[in-house]
Every structure is written in structure tokens, then in C-alpha cells.
Amino acid sequence: MMSLNISAADNNLCLAEDNDCTFVLLTHSSNELVIVNQARAEQALSPFSTFKIANSAIGLETGVINDAGQTLSYDDTAYPPQAWWPSVWKLPKYNLTSAYKFSMVAIYRQLAKDIGDKQMRHYLKTFNYGNQDISSGLDNFWLNGSMKISALEQVKFLQQLHQNQLALSEKTQQELRKVMLAKMTDDYRIYAKTGAGKVDDGSMLGWYVGIVETADESYYFALNFNRPTYQQMKADRIALAMNHLKQAGVID
């Protein structure tokens, strides 16, 4: 394990002295971990929408969802549209790919209810996902509820997922790759998910977690950090993670 001590001059990165952020990178072939801020990397936090990775996998594996292109709906009496919803949460229809891309919360709350308590608990135990605690509500435990996961646990989950160690069917794995693909170049592919939400101190917690595939290696990363507002968090989230991946030589 390597712990990075990044200088304060690198203000476009998570700094070693900044307790409000962490970045973790796991290289598959060597199992080497690079960590910025060990204590923060071990801190269990709400996964927010990064849980959509696990939720999607469980939905596909249980057959609640057939494939990435299936039209999905939700009970709008249980989850009525709100004035503050972004326009991408008000589209006429969704499938798993678009619901994941736009992080459509109501679709995923409905999906969790359709999966059901018993199967959700079973798969979270199988995945060894965070603290596996869904006691605060089947349709909201990942939204600053009882479910907590650390950045270190995120990368280990992603490694197991990517290396087919979670006993998921080949179809589930293939469909999930379609859903998770965030960027593709001639040199690498990134499969990832953002997450964000207000936490108890009033700040916004932001996540970006994912997998980088190159021709000869696989990497797993997790960034989390706090910012005073959603706008500040959103502006930094993906950029910070990409800067760390570039610094580590994972991407150009």
C-alpha cells in the first residue's frame, strides 16, 4: 500500500492534509493500493447514487430487469415528481441505461422495492457490500440512511464485480457493462458512477467510483469529498478523479 503526500500546490487534486477528501486506486495485477488520506479512505459513508451499481446488478440478476434496454417505470403516487427535480428526471420514459446515466432516483427506489427485502439482503451479503444495513428503509437506505461504505470497500467491491467473483451470470455482467460505460478511447474504457447528497453537517458529499480497463491492466478507483454546496461538488467531482488517474499514469 502506498500513501501519497500530495503538495498543497496541487490544488486540483485531493490533498493529503485535507480531511474532507480521499482518493483510492487499486491495481488489479499487483493488488497495490494507492491511498490519499488513509483515515478518510476507511471512513464508512453513505454511498448515495454509487449504490446504483449494486442495485442495477441485483435487478438484472434477479430478473426484475431483463436487460439494459427494458423500459422502466415507477409509482408516481409513492414518488411524485418534485419541482426541484432536474429536467432529466422528467423524461417520458427510461430504461436502465438512461436511468443510471441520469441517476434517476425514483426509478431506483422503485427497483429496490421490486427486488424486495429478502433478495436485497441476500445479495448485499453475497457482495459483502459496506455494512449491509438496509434497516432505514428498502427504498432509501443508500440515501444518507443506514447503508454505509468506505472508499476502500468501494474499490474492493468493484474489483470483485469486474473479475466475475460475485457469482453473477454472464448476461448480468454484459448488461451491467453497457450501463456503466462512461468513457471510451483508443487506450482505455472507464465504467463509473457518480453519487452525491447532503449529509448531517449540511455539506454535500460527492462520490466518483469506477473501473478503468486498458489493454493489459484493470484499475479500480474511488473518490469522495465534501463541499459546501451541490454546485461546488458537482464542478469538482469527475475532474478530481480524472486528475488523480492521470497523475498515477492510468490515463493520459
Sign of the CA dihedral 70, 165, 196, 247?
negative
Catalytic residue among 46, 49, 56, 103: 49
Assess contact for 108 and 116: CB atoms under 8 A.
no
Q: How far apart are CA 125 and CA 160, in angstroms?
A: 13
- Determine whether 146 is an active site residue: no
| Contacts for 193 with CB less than 8 Å, ≥ 6 apart | 49, 50, 52, 53, 100, 180, 182, 207, 208, 209, 210
Closest CA to 155 of 75, 226, 219, 66: 219
Q: How far apart are CA 214 and CA 230, in angstroms?
A: 32
Q: Could you tell me the CA-to-CA distances from 25 to 14, 181, 224 in Å, in that order?
A: 13, 18, 12
Q: How far apart are CA 175 and CA 89, in angstroms?
A: 22
Closest CA to 225 of 34, 84, 7, 24: 24
Q: How far apart are CA 188 and CA 213, in angstroms?
A: 5
Assess contact for 250 and 212: CB atoms under 8 A.
yes
Q: How far apart are CA 158 and CA 127, in angstroms?
A: 10
Residues noted as catalytic = 49
